[in-house]
Amino acid sequence: MIDNLFTMFPGQGSQRAGMAGHLLREHPRTVGRVLARAEEATGLPLTELCTTAPDADLAPTEIAQPAIVATSLAVYEVLRQQTGFRPGAVAGHSLGEYTALIAAGVLEAGDALRLVRRRGELMAGVSRRVSGAMTALMGLAPERIEQLCAAAAPLGVVEVANYNEAGQTVVSGQSEAVAEVSRLALEAGAERAVPLKVSAPFHCSLMSAVEDEFTAELERTTFSAPRLLVISSVTGAAVRDGAHARDLLRRQLAGPVRWVDVLAAASVHGVGGYLEVGPGRVLSGFANRCVPGALVRSTNDERRINTLLRDLSPEPVAGAVAA
Residue 27 known to be catalytic:
no
CA distance 304 to 66: 23
User: What are the backbone angles phi and psi of residue 126, rounded to the nearest 5°?
Assistant: -60, -40
CA distance 233 to 185: 25
In this structure, is the dihedral angle defined by the CA atoms of residues 55, 61, 64 and 67, taken in order, positive or negative? negative
Across the strands, what pairs with 137? 169, 193
CA distance 173 to 160: 9
- Three-state DSSP class for 193? strand
Residue 93 known to be catalytic:
no
Catalytic residue among 14, 27, 93, 94: 94
Instruction: Say how far residue 36 (Cα) sits from the centre of its chain.
Output: 22
CA distance 132 to 174: 4
DSSP for residue 30: H
Helix H or strand E segment including 92? strand 89-92
User: Taking a C-beta distance cutoff of 8 angstroms, is the pair 308, 321 a contact?
Assistant: no
Residue 320 backbone class (left: φ over 0; alpha: ψ -120 to 50; beta: rest): beta
Catalytic residue among 14, 172, 199, 203: 203
Q: State the catalytic residues.
A: 94, 203
